[in-house]
Structures are given as C-alpha cells and as structure tokens.
Amino acid sequence: MPYIQINELEMFYEQMGTGEPVIFLHSHYSRSMLAFSSQVLDFQNQYRCYFPDLRGHGRTRCRDLDWSTPRIAEDVAGFMDRMNIERAHLIGYSMGAGVGLYLAVNHPGRIATLTTIGTSGFCEPA
C-alpha cells in the first residue's frame, strides 16, 4: 500500500494515470477516492491522478488528530514536495475545497488550476 512520510504523518494515497498531476482533495465526511469515483476513469486517461487520505481520515496514520484547514493544506504541500510535484491541478470537495483555496492563497506558484465543489466562505470587512 502506498504511504509517504510527511513529518509525523504517514499519508496514504492512491495514484493512477499519466500526464499532468491532478490532486483530488476529499471532504471531511467522505471516504477519499470514493468521493470522486465517478470521475476517476475519465481523468486517468489524460492526467496523473493523486487521491491522498487527508489527516484524520481514511488510512492515513498520525499521532495527532488535531487538524485545521491550514494544517491539512501544509500536509498537501508536503505531499507535493515528497512526490516531486512542482505544480498541480487541484480538485477539492467541501473541506478539500477550503484546503485548495488556502493553498492557492499561500502557495500560488504550486497551483495550476483550482476547482472547488460544495464550498462556502465569507469575506471579512476591511
């Protein structure tokens, strides 16, 4: 089973296809890759698809289950570093969309495109 070590985290991930990298970021209540099962066959024909189990989810192992959007986003940036992915397309669902937005703001050079599904947010007044 594919695991990658990122600090204290043993992140489980699935990978399939060839081409430009696409990282699928699941929601808080989904089961990782299964959240995107309808898209897998189409995407893997043109892209190298990565489906990481995020901190506190699925088969990823960690001692510390405290998580936040910024912490999970930095885990994903670490995943990209360890997998030698300079830039990737991100597709985020719910919590995963928030993680993608955080990455786009704080690591804009790493994001080729960002697709968000079922996310929400708010603007703070200046």
Question: What pLDDT score does 30 carry?
Answer: 66
Q: Which has the closest alpha carbon to 96: 38, 37, 42, 36?
A: 36
The mean pLDDT value of the chain amounts to 88
Residues 70-99 as b/e (b if ≥16 CB within 10 A, e otherwise) read ebbbbbbbbbbeebebeebbbbbbbbbbbb
The reply to whether the predicted model has a pTM over 0.85 is yes
Q: Look at residue 7 in the predicted model and tell me its pLDDT.
A: 82
Q: Is the pLDDT of residue 104 over 60?
A: yes
Identify the band that residue 1 occupies on the pLDDT scale cut at 50, 70 and 90.
Answer: low
Token pair recorded at residue 14: 């699935």
6, containing H or E segment: strand 3-6
